[in-house]
């Protein structure tokens, strides 16, 4: 099982690219959260080669908990009359081109060997760079806390892959898991504390 997972790391890498595409291009928040869940699954898969399965399990559990918190927030928000569509400030074609360019640039950074870190599996490094690139793009082009929050989660996921490869200690795993859950709670708090109608008005300013 582990051998299969570690031999086919191309699958989670493609999954990361697809999940990033969903987060950046799709308006429906629920689909975005589904994309985030896929992304967490891919991150967990990528990590199977460097940390024990129990640790991967903890990371996956924290990721699923994060997605669950965001999903339940979305449901609550919808029940308060909030829109289920994420509002993006740029057009879809612009976002698609930007995402494509970021993916190309991320691959370029990987293949140039500029980021030479002592990680056993190079594909892990590629996955991490793609996630960091996708996360930075989301943080850079979005203005809504919900979308920026997902971007930050993506960014931290990429960093986490790199860092777990370098320092696979249990304390780090636990603390970084707490960061993911904490971020989800903060996003939820901000989504719910400001009523949806006021949110939209505030963002239109």
Partner 1 sequence: MNVPLLIILLSVLISLITAVNRTRPRASAWIGAGGLLLLGLFIWLAPLEEAFNLAGIALKFTNQFNILGRALVLDDTTRGFVGFIYAASAFLLIAGSNANTNRLFTPLGVFMCIILASALMMKPFVYAAILIEISAMVAVVMLVAPEYPARRTAMRLIFVFTLAMMAILTAGWMLDVVGVTGATPGTARWTTGLLAIGMAVMLAVPPFHYWLSAAADESNPFVVAAFLLLSQTIGLFFLLRFLDTYEWLRAQPEIFSAIRTAGMGMVWFSGIMSLGQRRLARIIMYGMIADLGILLMAVGLGSEGGFALALQMTAARVPGIVLWVASLTYLIRVVGDDLVDRLEGAAHRHKYGAIFMLIGMSASFGFPFSATFPSRWAMLEPMAGIDRFGILTIMFGWVFGGAILLRWFVLLWRSEKRDRSEGFVIGQWAFMIGCAALILLLGMFPQIVLPWVRQVGDGLQQILP
Give the range of 11-19, 46-54, 65-73, 184-192 binding partner 1 by CB under 8 A.
Answer: 184-192
Contact (CB, 8 A) for 118 and 102: no
Number of neighbouring beta carbons within 10 Å of residue 12: 24
What DSSP string describes 95-118? HHHHHHHHHHHHHHHHHHT-S---
- Binding of partner 1 by 161 (CB under 8 A): no
CB of 143 to partner 1, least distance (A): 8
- Binding of partner 1 by 175 (CB under 8 A): yes
Give the range of 73-81, 93-101, 105-113, 176-184 binding partner 1 by CB under 8 A.
Answer: 176-184
Task: For tokens 């200690």, name the residue.
Answer: 169
CB of 148 to partner 1, least distance (A): 5
What is the distance between the alpha carbons of residues 148 and 89, in angstroms, rounded to a whole number? Answer: 12
- Binding of partner 1 by 94 (CB under 8 A): no
Binding residue for partner 1 (CB under 8 A) from 42, 60, 156, 161? 156
Binding residue for partner 1 (CB under 8 A) from 182, 196, 200, 204? 182
User: What is the distance, to the nearest Å, from the Cα of residue 111 to the centroid of all Cα atoms in its chain?
Assistant: 22
- Binding of partner 1 by 199 (CB under 8 A): yes
What is the distance between the alpha carbons of residues 28 and 11, in angstroms, rounded to a whole number? Answer: 25
Contact (CB, 8 A) for 59 and 173: yes
Which positions touch partner 1 (CB under 8 A)? 139, 143-145, 148-149, 152, 155-156, 159, 163, 166-167, 169-172, 174-176, 178-179, 182-183, 185-186, 189-190, 193-195, 198-199, 202
């Amino acid at each position: 099982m582990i051998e299969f997972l570690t031999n086919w790391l191309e699958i989670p890498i493609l999954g990361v690219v697809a999940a990033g595409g969903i987060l950046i291009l799709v308006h429906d928040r629920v689909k975005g959260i589904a994309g985030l869940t896929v992304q967490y699954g891919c991150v967990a898969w990528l990590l199977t080669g460097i940390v024990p399965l129990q640790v991967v399990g903890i990371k996956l559990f924290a990721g699923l908990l994060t997605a669950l918190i965001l999903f339940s927030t979305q449901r609550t928000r919808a029940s308060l009359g909030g829109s289920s569509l994420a509002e993006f400030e740029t057009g879809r074609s612009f976002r698609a081109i930007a995402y494509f360019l970021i993916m190309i640039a991320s691959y370029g950074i990987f293949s140039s060997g500029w980021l030479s870190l002592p990680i056993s599996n190079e594909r892990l490094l590629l996955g991490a760079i793609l996630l960091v690139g996708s996360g930075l793009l989301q943080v850079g082009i979005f203005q809504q806390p919900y979308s920026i929050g997902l971007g930050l989660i993506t960014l931290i996921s990429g960093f986490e892959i790199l860092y777990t490869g370098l320092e696979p200690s249990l304390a780090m795993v636990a603390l970084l898991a707490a960061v993911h859950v904490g971020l989800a709670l903060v996003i939820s708090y901000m989504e719910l504390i400001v009523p949806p109608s006021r949110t939209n008005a505030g963002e239109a300013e």
